[in-house]
A and B are shown apart, each in its own frame.
Chain A
């Protein structure tokens, strides 16, 4: 029996705990300073918008933890002492461990702007941030959001749901230009503006000004424009939440450095989730990937290793999804903003700018590298299978109907993408082999 202590009750820590329990009887304690129970951070926005109550964001009923003998501790860990294998808790207690898992997540970035600590300036990461936002929303008329990313757009949607006017300052000239090709970026920008959000691309924050009451009064951009507001949302990315480890002897850089087995420089201490920095990431992957999916996979990988089945962390093929206001986005595989050497891209977009399909492939052998979908849902397993099998663009296009995951009766646009392909390569025109339709309802055997 080994006493396992996990710091952090987010997706990484909790997935580790659940899978360790499934595989073993080790006593498990999960510590968090943020909340009594695991909740879904990705659902924070929905609490503010009134789509859900906090209770609804908890993926497991409260009784689940006791039933599975996972002890929950609401405490802040001040210091880790790897030599004594001990944690020092803010409440004054010490806690011994045999195995320690660090799953402490992220903290919001701040880049030293003048005024960034004024009342009325805040980020969005934790439940406490949400509470603060609720407080800051009282008599709020105009907010400025700094930083065009996934959390920034969620904050914008949240505030719009309460009819608060928003100016959205984004440093990049194109929306999330590290992730999106130009067409998709423009779709998103248009979409944001349609929602009456004053989006300013290529605009940087210079400083935040205080009013007579000591609260934020306005922001000033690098161009010198002053925008009055009562709230500033700083959503300029996150970084690993590891300050409390300073001086502990655990090796860190931006995050907690871990090997392929998610082990730190102490063999009985592991790290997973947002706070972990992989020493040797797989090609094409970043050392820190602050994502729900990666935290989940790391948590399970760890559980295996700890329970005796040494398993290296494999993030798998890249996929992701998000929603920009009403616009859904899914990506499978690699779709860079610009096609690389010897790569090409096939793109279709509807007239209203609400939907698009993009398939990215290699020119010489036609192998498909990735799918990027706006406003259309695709089947993860099938895209994954095609990518794994190295299917060619021609094959994928002919069978594309099977990948569509939109609800029944939705218009299917795969044919339009084929048409574009056929116009580009009129030699041997392709025909869409599979479409969903009535016939599909009665089909008895699994195709492909």
Chain B
């Protein structure tokens, strides 16, 4: 080893180390910030709440009256504070008529709003500073820790030590990360009042984009985008020799930043429906819910445009593009869930279960979710149209179904399990087992599509890299070693199998359907071209 190169390497190592240190500091500030508040309701608090309109007219007076005795009480713990507020809301309800009760959803929102308004301390006081010290510092630090790798190692597949890594192979750090992610999602979905300080960290960006403070969904969208973009840098460094991966990662980043984050925020600031133009039904499961349709149809020309776009996307574009390019055009080029899986989730792709049994379970679950989504949407629509002229056909059944779907599929499956389980079950748990849109795309891909992964004659040496790194748990090698093309409904076309294959055996291809399911191969008896047995 020549001297200059090793001193250059140690400089790069030092830079990466500093980046990592910055990331750890940023992350620590972020983690600490959630607890860094005391809570006190003052006259100002109630004033603020009255102004921002979170508390509904019909509840405001009664609730404020109940809360008045708490004014000035000082809480050092958010739990104690929320327990008192919760009690006060119950007491308010006792005084309210049956028609104007504070129902569960509003109760959650009110608690969150109260916690936010009552929080005092460094985070509310210096939100922008904390924003920089946590999110910006951690992101920049992470990027600095990734990029110098370009000059430190040669370009190529570098999966060294993946199976020895604690974080990547269900060791201590993997479990810790999983627990953190699961906790984050549970707090976000079910206990947002506990994380008002985090939500507040979205304020600087939210104010700039939409001219109002962040709510939890804005905060989530922002975090999602930041994490995806930062990890996209890692992905790009890791696969810098592979243009398919570079283009694909750029595409994912573009759609997340533009379509999922910026455009909806800007639309909101213009008082238009905040719509993500790439989010197709039935992944976007509430697109056909009555409130959304009402919202869109009353939203003028733009609303109608979104309605038609959404229908066209689901009914025409999804199947058509899947015919031409395979499911991948959506799942690993456009989709936000796929986007996070391909960036944040990339280090965990080998954890997917490759067993035949898992494949069986997968087909049962994902198709059940599809049926669930279709039936639910059907019922909601029937109710919607029949409700236009009289009693809805299925009466009050649909809200219950919707709630069940939203809770089980939308929150638990897609969020808590889908992302929280990255370090345990791999990065595509949701996409593989749960996503109803993936199920539809998969059916198209399997039955009528030009997409396949071509196996290159007899070159496979059965090493198993392809199967190991398949995030969808497809046993790619099973096909490759028989010289058979791979056509599986679950394949999202991420292209990693082809990237990690050391013998150049696999290629993602679109082409004429004819011969897609190849029945001859060079594996059998050299060049004999005999049927695959």
Contact = CB atoms under 8 A, between A and B. Distances in A.
B464 A323 contact: no
A408 B154 contact: no
Nearest to A163: B160
Interface stretch (A55-63, A79-87, A99-107, A236-244): A55-63
A50 B161 contact: yes
Given A316-B527, A384-B527, A407-B244, A61 B355 contact: yes
Given A49-B159, A319-B459, A445 B498 contact: no
B299 interface: no
Contacts of B350: 56
Interface stretch (A179-187, A200-208, A324-332): A324-332
A330 B458 CA distance: 12
B90 interface: no
A122 interface: no
Given A406-B507, A407-B499, A408-B243, 14 more contacts: A43-B465, A49-B161, A50-B160, A50-B162, A56-B468, A61-B356, A161-B160, A296-B458, A317-B527, A323-B503, A326-B155, A379-B456, A443-B512, A446-B514
B504 A405 contact: yes
A381 B522 contact: yes
Nearest to B243: A409
B130 to A, nearest CB: 38
A380 B461 CA distance: 14
Given A43-B463, A57-B464, A380 B458 contact: yes
B468 A319 contact: no
Contacts of A379: 456-457
Contacts of B462: 11, 40, 42-43, 59, 292
Interface in B476-507: 477-478, 481, 495, 498-500, 502-504, 507
Contacts of A222: none
B526 interface: yes
Contacts of A194: 154
Interface residues of B, number: 62
A293 interface: yes
A74 interface: no
Contact of B514 (A42, A296, A410, A445): A445
24 contacts: A40-B461, A43-B461, A46-B465, A51-B163, A51-B465, A56-B467, A58-B464, A59-B477, A61-B355, A161-B160, A198-B1, A300-B524, A319-B458, A321-B459, A323-B502, A323-B503, A380-B459, A384-B527, A407-B498, A409-B246, A410-B243, A411-B243, A443-B511, A446-B511
A50 B469 CA distance: 12
A413 interface: no
Contacts of B509: 408
Interface in B140-162: 154-157, 159-162
A22 B511 CA distance: 32
In terms of DSSP, what is the predominant structure of the interface of chain B? loop
Contacts of B155: 326
Contact of B156 (A297, A325, A446): A325
Nearest to A300: B525
A323 B324 CA distance: 33
A323 B505 CA distance: 12
B163 A52 contact: yes
B405 interface: no
Nearest to A63: B356
A108 interface: no
Interface of B: 1, 5, 154-157, 159-165, 241-244, 246-247, 324-325, 350, 355-356, 454, 456-459, 461-465, 467-468, 477-478, 481, 495, 498-500, 502-504, 507-512, 514-515, 522-528, 533
B326 to A, nearest CB: 11
Nearest to B503: A321
Interface in A154-177: 161, 165
Cβ-closest 7 pairs across A and B: A316-B526, A380-B457, A326-B156, A377-B504, A43-B463, A316-B527, A409-B243
A111 B242 CA distance: 42
A317 B527 CA distance: 7
Interface in A218-238: none
B324 A42 contact: no
B349 to A, nearest CB: 12
B507 A42 contact: no
B504 A408 contact: no
A51 B246 CA distance: 22
A307 to B, nearest CB: 11
B511 A316 contact: no
A50 B163 contact: yes
Given A195-B154, A379-B457, A407-B243, A328 B502 contact: yes
A14 to B, nearest CB: 10
Contacts of A59: 462, 464, 477-478, 481
Interface in A297-347: 297, 300-301, 311, 314-317, 319, 321-323, 325-326, 328, 330
A53 B163 contact: yes
Contacts of A410: 243-244
Interface in A11-51: 11, 19, 22-23, 40, 42-43, 46, 49-51
B153 to A, nearest CB: 9
B508 A408 contact: yes
A249 to B, nearest CB: 30
A407 B495 contact: yes
A384 B522 contact: yes
A388 interface: yes
B324 A301 contact: no
Interface string A127-171: 000000000000000000000000000000000010001000000
A330 B504 CA distance: 8
A11 B522 CA distance: 16
